A and B are shown apart, each in its own frame.
Chain A
Amino acid sequence: MEGSHSRSRGVTETLAAAATHAPSDVDAAFEDLYRQSRDDVYAYVAGLLRDRSAAEDVTAQAFERAYHRRRTFKPGRGSRRAWLFGIARNAALDELRRRRRRARLVAEPEDETLVPPHEGAEVAVRRAALRAAIAELSGRERELVALKFFAGLTNGEIATVIATSETNAGTKLHRVIQKLRRACDEAA
């Protein structure tokens, strides 16, 4: 699948119809990974960058890198999702570094459409408090939130992505959750 000529099938049904060659195991695995992780990767990157446009670019970049390195995946080093999010993390951090060099980007205004209009007042208050609390978190803490709640990774996968032990990742994550809980409780 080095380019369009050799790719015989894709990740969509349209592509599957145009297939002329049977996909290899690696390509099939990547296709599954893409389908399962597309939105999660975007959510993680967007949560880290807080910039939709940049998140789109970094997401695309992450999948591109992952696709070209798909044969380098080592099952012994963690799950495919952890491997993919490791690549996405590097791409996102590179983007953060670029933005830091250029200028500190102001976080995008909150998307009001995220708050369902039928939601109860108490939940809305807690949601606003949580959003504010997340905004107050450090970059490392916000990354843990993004990996856990936005991307839905397990603690083991998070540990692999941020290159630490599962216990350490769990401990860090728990601290962040306690912070958010306190913020929500205070708001309530």
Chain B
Amino acid sequence: MRLRNQEMPLDPDVERELEAIDAALQGLRVAPDLEDFAELAVIARAERSGPDPDFAAKLDEWAAAGFLRESRPGAGDEQEGAVAASGLWERLRALPPRRLLVSAGAAATFVVAVAVGISVSDQLGGSNGGSGTGVRAASTQSSTGADGKGAEGTVTEANRDQIQPAGAPNVKALGARTSSSGGSTVYGRIQSFASGRAAHRKVAQNANLVLSTEPQNVRNVADGVFGVVDQYNGFVVSSNVTSGRLTGPRAIPAEGDGSRAPEGSGTIELRIPAQHLQDALGAMSALESAHVTSRTEGTIDITKRFNSAKAHVEDLEAERTSLLNQLEEAFTIEEQESLKAQLRIVENKLADAKDQLSRVQTRIRLVPVNVEIRGERGVDAGGSGSWSIGDAFHDAGRVLTVIAGILLISAAVLAPLGLVGGLAWITARAVVRRRREDALE
């Protein structure tokens, strides 16, 4: 409609009359037939109100002072309060909309970025066991979850507290956290506390530890594991260690094993006294040149099994005692022979029952620990202290990835907010404009 009006020229007569008005207002002469328009313009112009000289002077002074808000002329006492009250609003309105939007957007971006950053850093921090192992530690949980399906039920960090012995405090709630590489004993201490509280419960544990090292260090790491076993009075059930190559072509990555194939490896099955399990795992995790790829610990409550075996032994011992008493009181040979036969059977059963109970006790006392050593080139475990340019690129890539993620999430949060804010702003402007126009009705 506006475009059409712009394109349509004014009626020539109308245009001529309007031009006469303009000319009269400028003090110019007009055509005789338009003198009444000129007279109207002059009379109407004479109706013009001029500012009061005092006000004009004050306004000039105020302008000279840079239009300071608090000294605005013309505002009555009643309005001065309103001016002061609406000072902030006026300041905001005085800002160019673009600058206001940019400022608001920057503030919102900052807030969202900080929130996302805190969230991301918390996730990284929760899995970061050290400067050299942080990135790998982040994947420990997933590999643990995938591997943690032992015969007796494996417990990961995430669900450890759900399988705590009955009556034990919630370890998670106490803030316990097992370091994936540092061999922290915090969890162990809390677990000991929990065990103390639930001493009547019988818990069987198991653990799996995967260590990565440079191929040439596989043997050294294996020796370190053996040393730890000796230190904590454990023993090696079986071991199979293959030394890695120092040089040679890079191996083709094995399927499902990330980007590196083992170059030298070892599998060691251990038994570690339960009371030393955490310390031993910590010591193995802290071995020089070794890098913890995965650490999984599991527990299972075998109290029922233990009590059953123990009760069976006690029952058989009672039966044996009874048979012995009967044998002492037996008179006839036949009766004695019969009791002796029963006694032999019971003693055999008792031996089996004791053996069973012993196995259960051993299972509780000695924890099976499987240690896998992987020889991988370029692992460069943190313990060696060196840090290559490849690590720098890797870390830089990680940092950039995190930053990109923060920006992406920020954009995802801000885009709809900006859209809603923009629509609200447009709507508000339209409403204000409409209300202003209505004021003229």
The CA of A52 and the CA of B54, in the complex, are separated in Å by 13
Q: Among B4-12, B280-288, B358-366, which stretch is in contact with chain A? A: B4-12
> Which residues on B sit within 8 Å (CB–CB) of A145?
44
Q: Is B329 an interface residue when CB atoms closer than 8 A count as contact?
A: no
CB–CB B48/A149 < 8 A: yes
Say which residue of B63, B65, B68, B94 sits within 8 Å of A34 (CB atoms): B63
Q: Is B424 an interface residue when CB atoms closer than 8 A count as contact?
A: no
> Which residues on B sit within 8 Å (CB–CB) of A96?
439-440
CB within 8 Å of B: which of A104-119? 111, 114
CB–CB A111/B49 < 8 A: yes
Cβ proximity bits B60-77 to A, threshold 8 Å, 1 near / 0 not: 111111111100111110
In the assembled complex, the CB of B14 is this many whole angstroms from the nearest CB of chain A, namely: 5
B interface secondary structure, majority: helix
The CA of A71 and the CA of B94, in the complex, are separated in Å by 10
> Which residues on A sit within 8 Å (CB–CB) of B74?
53, 56-60
Known: A60-B59, A150-B48. A139 touches B79 (CB 8 A): no
Q: Is B175 an interface residue when CB atoms closer than 8 A count as contact?
A: no
> Which residues on A sit within 8 Å (CB–CB) of B49?
42-43, 46-47, 52, 55, 111, 114, 150
Known: A60-B59, A60-B73, A168-B5. A4 touches B43 (CB 8 A): no
Say which residue of A3, A6, A39, A154 sits within 8 Å of B51 (CB atoms): A39
CB within 8 Å of B: which of A54-80? 55-61, 63-65, 67-69, 71-72
> Which residues on B sit within 8 Å (CB–CB) of A130?
40, 43-44, 47
Known: A34-B63, A164-B5, A174-B18. A97 touches B96 (CB 8 A): no
CB–CB A177/B17 < 8 A: yes
Q: Is A24 an interface residue when CB atoms closer than 8 A count as contact?
A: no
The CA of A68 and the CA of B95, in the complex, are separated in Å by 8
The CA of A162 and the CA of B441, in the complex, are separated in Å by 14
Cβ proximity bits B75-94 to A, threshold 8 Å, 1 near / 0 not: 11001000000000011011
CB–CB B46/A97 < 8 A: no
Q: Is B255 an interface residue when CB atoms closer than 8 A count as contact?
A: no
Say which residue of B18, B65, B68, B439 sits within 8 Å of A100 (CB atoms): B439
CB–CB B94/A68 < 8 A: yes
A interface secondary structure, majority: helix
Known: A127-B46, A139-B440. A167 touches B21 (CB 8 A): no
Indicate the member of B43, B49, B69, B439 with the most A CB atoms within 10 Å: B49
In the assembled complex, the CB of A180 is this many whole angstroms from the nearest CB of chain B, namely: 6
> Which residues on A sit within 8 Å (CB–CB) of B61?
12
The chain A residue sitting closest to B50, CB to CB, is A39
> Which residues on A sit within 8 Å (CB–CB) of B2?
164-165, 168
Q: Is B319 an interface residue when CB atoms closer than 8 A count as contact?
A: no
Known: A57-B75, A177-B17, A181-B36. A10 touches B47 (CB 8 A): no
Known: A12-B63, A127-B46. A56 touches B51 (CB 8 A): yes
User: Which bucket holds chain B's interface residue count?
Assistant: 35 or more
Say which residue of B10, B39, B48, B52 sits within 8 Å of A170 (CB atoms): B10
CB–CB B63/A11 < 8 A: yes
CB–CB A38/B59 < 8 A: yes
The chain B residue sitting closest to A69, CB to CB, is B94
CB–CB B439/A67 < 8 A: no
CB–CB B55/A56 < 8 A: yes
Known: A57-B75, A180-B44. A143 touches B440 (CB 8 A): yes
> Which residues on B sit within 8 Å (CB–CB) of A150?
45, 47-49
Q: Is B436 an interface residue when CB atoms closer than 8 A count as contact?
A: yes
In the assembled complex, the CB of B35 is this many whole angstroms from the nearest CB of chain A, namely: 12
Cβ proximity bits A81-124 to B, threshold 8 Å, 1 near / 0 not: 00000000010011011001000000000010010000000010
The CA of A169 and the CA of B404, in the complex, are separated in Å by 53
Contacts A67-B66, A150-B49 supplied; 19 other A-B pairs, CB < 8 Å: A1-B66, A7-B66, A10-B63, A12-B64, A39-B51, A42-B50, A55-B49, A57-B75, A60-B62, A61-B72, A64-B72, A69-B96, A72-B96, A148-B25, A149-B48, A150-B47, A165-B2, A170-B15, A181-B36
User: Can you show 17 pairs from A to B with CB atoms below 8 A apart?
Assistant: A3-B68, A10-B64, A12-B61, A43-B50, A52-B49, A69-B94, A71-B96, A114-B49, A130-B44, A134-B44, A138-B441, A139-B440, A145-B44, A152-B45, A154-B22, A166-B6, A170-B10
> What are the 9 tightest A-B residue pairs by CB atom distance, in nearest-first order?
A10-B64, A56-B74, A139-B440, A68-B94, A7-B66, A93-B436, A15-B64, A96-B439, A149-B44
